[in-house]
């Protein structure tokens, strides 16, 4: 079945055609790791995860690259202000790299809790400065740069397609608010590829370069790392909508000028998570909620995932606890239903069920990742009296490959560590065919009030 994706430059749903049959390369702009991710950031990564899972569901082999920004992203996207990592370091009286590694690890924990498949490659900007310098040299050799005030700038007047992605007007004042005017720029759209300017002499992360000691601009990192891991032509690039007018517009300019051809075939952007009256959730504001804030309040991280899947990624979504409660109830209902089905059927159900519900589900996710409608198909299948219970079980398992809601997790029960330890010991015993010990361990688990369910995906337990 064909997959349709809304491509930002055309603003239309387009049929997805990969560069290479059966394979897809995706590049996702990752987090700037100077603070915890907020739940708005996680919306952007649940979206790219659904994209990857949908492509895999359709049989594609996906190579997913997501960078970690640990240098160069200033407090204003358009080259003004302070490097966010330096800012985080001052706030916590640590070095920028200590800050970066700490928040990167916290970010990855959040991704795992949200059941986001970890991208195969997660390159750090600080470990790819050499590649960035090479790319800037290439742009310089081709005549797309100029030096002023110690910085190396990209000259946007040399690239005809500069305004295409964001459909920017010619007059930049109408489009982008520049906090401060950079008097060294020939044109306000121009952007820094390499900083050495006096203004940043307090910057502690410095690298040698042909233009002097300094550090790279934010945009060049994505072009350098994306091309290193995915080549000079890429199927899909994702990010939040805030990246359209500056970051992605600049990525396209420098990449297409350096490589001499079209760079990315499909640009996909997810809309914001807002709170209150349409206010964007941001790390710099007080409206900042972390995943931990939700889990400390007793929610499962996947309640939040369910909440996100209830809206299309291209629509702004307002976060409220009432809506999160609704998502929690819905997920609990599915998990209880899944638990009942497992109880009756164990793993005696077809691995690849045939059902028109699969076609319906596939049609919905393939229609620009329409998760709200895909969830509706799942509910319809569950309440269809003409379906056998074993079929429903198979369908749930299949749908969950895309939804990632862990529907076979046991309801709202958190499995205690000691029970998990017993499960591990029992699995080891079973693997070494020591069935007597395995049986004793099963009884031990059961005597503590848990039921053991052995399935194809390993052993699960739930409260009996």
Does 29 sit near Zn ion (CB under 5 A)?
yes
Could you say which DSSP state residue 260 is in? S
Helices 435-447 and 417-431 cross at an angle (nearest 10°) of: 160
Identify which of residues 74 and 222 has a Cβ nearer to Zn ion in the complex.
222
Residue nearest to ligand AMP (CB): 240
Cβ proximity to Zn ion: between 28 and 156 the closer is 28
**DSSP per residue, 160-188:** GGGGTTTT--S-GGGT---SS--TT-SST
Residue 44 binds to ligand AMP (criterion: CB under 6 A): yes
Interface with ligand AMP, residue 243, by CB under 6 A = yes
Beta strands across the sheet bearing 23-28: 61-66, 23-28, 234-240, 264-270
Which of these, 399, 388, 402, 403, lies nearest to 348 by C-alpha position?
388
Per CB under 6 A, 41 contacts ligand AMP: yes
Output the smallest distance, CB 317 to ligand AMP, in A: 8
User: 242 vs 454, which CB is nearer to ligand AMP?
Assistant: 242
CA distance to 49, 64, 372, 420, per residue, from 305 (Å): 11, 20, 12, 24
Given the complex with Zn ion, which of 222 and 365 has the nearer CB atom? 222
- Minimum CB separation of residue 112 from ligand AMP in Å reads 17
Q: Which is nearer to ligand AMP, 289 or 407 (CB)?
A: 289
Q: Phi, psi (5° rounding) for residue 385? A: -70, -15
Question: Does 239 interact with ligand AMP (rule: CB under 6 A)?
Answer: yes
Q: Which does 234 bind (CB under 5 to 8 A by kind): ligand AMP, Zn ion, none?
A: none
Contact 149, 184 (CB under 8 A): yes
d(CA 314, CA 336): 31
31 binds ligand AMP (CB under 6 A): yes
Query: Any contact of residue 74 with Zn ion (CB under 5 A)?
Result: no
Q: Which of 8, 32, 140, 366 binds ligand AMP (CB under 6 A)?
A: 32
Q: Do 374 and 399 meet the contact criterion of CB atoms below 8 Å apart?
A: yes
Query: In the bound complex, what is the minimum distance in angstroms from residue 27's beta carbon to Zn ion?
Result: 8
Would you tell me how many other CB atoms lie within 10 Å of the CB of residue 427? 15
Binding mask 300-339 for Zn ion (x = CB under 5 A): ----------------------------------------
d(CA 381, CA 389): 10
# residues contacting Zn ion (CB under 5 A): 2
Q: Does 234 bind ligand AMP (CB under 6 A)?
A: no
Q: Which does 222 bind (CB under 5 to 8 A by kind): Zn ion, ligand AMP, none?
A: Zn ion
Q: Which does 41 bind (CB under 5 to 8 A by kind): ligand AMP, Zn ion, none?
A: ligand AMP
Residues 6+ apart with CB under 8 A from 112: 118
Residue 382 is a binding residue for Zn ion (CB under 5 A): no
CB of 242 to ligand AMP, least distance (A): 5
With CB under 6 A as the contact rule, the residue among 24, 26, 43, 324 that binds ligand AMP is 43
Task: Considering the complex, state which of residue 28 and residue 410 has its C-beta at the smaller distance from ligand AMP.
Answer: 28
254: contact with ligand AMP by CB under 6 A: no
Binding part of the chain for ligand AMP, among 51-59, 237-245, 425-433, 434-442 by CB under 6 A, reads: 237-245
144 touches 228 (CB < 8 A) = no
Residue 222 as a binder of Zn ion (CB under 5 A): the answer is: yes
Mask of contacts with ligand AMP, 266-285, x by CB under 6 A?
A: ------xx------xxx---
Strand-pair category, 80-83 with 74-76? antiparallel
In the complex, the smallest distance separating the C-beta of residue 285 from Zn ion, rounded to whole angstroms, is 22
The yes or no reply on residue 377 touching ligand AMP (CB under 6 A) is no
Q: Which is nearer to Zn ion, 29 or 257 (CB)?
A: 29
Residues 377-396 as b/e (b if ≥16 CB within 10 A, e otherwise) read: bbeebbeeeebeebbbbbbb
* Cβ atoms 45, 28 nearer than 8 A: yes
**Partner from Zn ion, ligand AMP, none contacting 32, C-beta within 5 to 8 A by type:** ligand AMP
**Interface with ligand AMP includes 165 (CB under 6 A)?**
no
Please report, for residues 41, 253, 303, the alpha-carbon distance to residue 328 in angstroms, rounded to integers and kept in the order given. 20, 44, 5
In residues, how long is the chain?
Answer: 464
The least CB distance from residue 149 to ligand AMP, in Å, is 26
- Distance from C-alpha of 37 to C-alpha of 288, rounded to nearest angstrom: 9
Burial of 305 (C-beta count, 10 Å sphere; 0-12/13-18/19+) = buried
Contacting residues toward Zn ion, per CB under 5 A: 29, 222
Contacting residues toward ligand AMP, per CB under 6 A: 29, 31-32, 40-41, 43-44, 239-240, 242-243, 272-273, 280-282
């Amino acid at each position: 079945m064909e997959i349709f994706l809304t491509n930002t430059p055309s603003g239309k749903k387009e049929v997805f055609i990969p560069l290479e049959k059966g394979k897809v390369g995706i590049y996702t702009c990752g987090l700037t790791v100077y603070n915890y991710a907020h739940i708005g950031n996680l919306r952007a990564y649940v979206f790219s995860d659904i994209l990857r899972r949908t492509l895999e569901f359709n049989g594609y082999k996906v190579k997913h690259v997501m960078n970690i920004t640990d240098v160069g992203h200033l407090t204003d996207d358009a080259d003004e202000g302070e490097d966010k990592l330096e800012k985080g370091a001052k706030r916590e009286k640590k070095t920028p790299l200590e800050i970066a590694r700490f928040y990167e690890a916290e970010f990855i924990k959040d991704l795992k809790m949200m059941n986001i498949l970890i991208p195969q490659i997660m390159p750090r900007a600080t470990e790819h400065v050499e590649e960035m310098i090479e790319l800037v040299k290439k742009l310089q050799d081709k005549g797309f740069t100029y030096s002023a005030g110690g910085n190396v700038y990209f000259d946007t007047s040399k690239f005809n397609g500069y305004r295409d992605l964001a459909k920017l007007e010619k007059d930049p004042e109408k489009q982008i608010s520049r906090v401060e005017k950079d008097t060294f720029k020939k044109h306000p759209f121009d952007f820094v590829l390499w900083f050495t300017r006096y203004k940043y002499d307090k910057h502690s992360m410095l690298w040698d370069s042909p233009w002097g000691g300094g550090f790279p601009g934010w945009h060049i990192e994505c072009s350098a790392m994306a091309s290193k891991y995915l080549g000079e032509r890429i199927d899909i690039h994702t990010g939040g909508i805030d990246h359209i007018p500056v970051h992605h517009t600049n990525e396209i300019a420098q990449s297409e000028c350096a490589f001499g051809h079209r760079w990315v075939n499909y640009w996909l952007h997810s809309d914001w998570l807002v709170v209150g009256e349409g206010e964007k959730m941001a790390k710099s504001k007080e409206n900042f909620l972390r995943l931990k804030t939700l889990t400390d309040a007793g929610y499962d991280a996947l309640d939040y995932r369910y909440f996100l899947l209830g809206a299309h990624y291209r629509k702004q979504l307002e976060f409220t606890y009432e809506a999160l409660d609704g998502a929690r109830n819905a997920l609990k209902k599915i998990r209880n239903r899944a638990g009942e089905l497992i109880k009756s059927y164990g793993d005696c159900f077809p691995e690849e069920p045939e059902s028109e519900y699969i076609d319906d589900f596939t049609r919905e996710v393939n229609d620009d990742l329409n998760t709200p409608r895909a969830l509706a198909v799942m509910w319809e299948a569950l309440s269809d009296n003409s379906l056998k219970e074993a079929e429903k079980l198979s369908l749930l398992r299949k749908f969950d490959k895309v939804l990632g809601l862990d529907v076979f997790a046991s309801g709202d029960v958190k499995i205690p560590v000691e029970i998990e330890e017993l499960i591990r010991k029992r699995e080891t015993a079973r693997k070494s065919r020591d069935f007597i010990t395995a049986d004793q361990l099963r009884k031990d688990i059961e005597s503590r009030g848990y039921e053991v369910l052995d399935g194809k995906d390993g052993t699960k337990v739930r409260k009996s």
